[in-house]
Amino acid sequence: MFDLTNRVALVTGAGSKNGMGMATAVGLAECHCNVVIADLDIEGAQRNAAVLESMGVESMAVKVDVTDRASIDAMVQSVIDRFGKIDILVNIAGMTQPIRTIDLTYEQFDKMLRVNLLSVFSVTQAVLPHMIEKQYGRIINMSSVSAKRGGGVFGGAHYSASKAGILGFAKNLAREVVTDHITVNNICPGLIGTDFRRSATGLSDEDERKLWEDVPLKRPGTAREVAAAIVFLASDEAAFITGEEIDVNGGAHID
């Protein structure tokens, strides 16, 4: 199961050494998928691409600013020039910012929507024609538990709004492209132990442990556990699932 041999995946936001993007790229590579690492940090992307190539798959690193459509179009074209197709798109690039609504500025709200939501639209729209041409595709977006229950330490109202917008966008798109054999799904992580989340929230070790107590499983999730859900949705075994989201939160939110 989960054999992705000869598939080509594009993963945005995968330049961090220990983040969910790299964990996803490794999980896909373990299923023999060729993986494109796209990130604003080209050095990190190149480092991670080298790791994947050492696993025996083809990989390439691409620098991209997901808030710039010209940069996105150039990224997609470079992947098509190299591989001739994009079978799997994983939209992970994003940001968070824990801040109260009363303290939010228009500029902060606008930036959050551009980075987290508009980027998903822009990258997806750039990739879609190539998936439609091949009559095959898997699109997986990174949303959040905050899209369902509100942000708290995970981000402010602008973060929750951007992640909730991803869910609505994906459900509509899933209906549009289902006859093209393209599925569109989302992942909603809860408390995940990544360097990115720790740096974004600035919590102490003690505050981190207090957060774990609110999770029924009494621990944070791992990037690997999030990646496993993504790999499943990217596989042929998930061909009958579209317009859905998978919660990876240790029971912190159940619906």
The set of catalytic residues is: 159
Q: Is residue 243 a contact partner of residue 175, using CB atoms and an 8 Å limit?
A: yes
Q: Is residue 154 a contact partner of residue 94, using CB atoms and an 8 Å limit?
A: no
The end-to-end CA distance of the chain, in Å, is: 28
DSSP letters of 153-177? GG--HHHHHHHHHHHHHHHHHHHHH
Quickly tell me which residue has 């917008």 as its tokens.
165
Q: How far apart are CA 79 and CA 55, in angstroms?
A: 20
Nearest to 239 by CA among 167, 186, 185, 173: 185
Q: How far apart are CA 147 and CA 163, in angstroms?
A: 5
Nearest to 153 by CA among 88, 92, 200, 108: 200
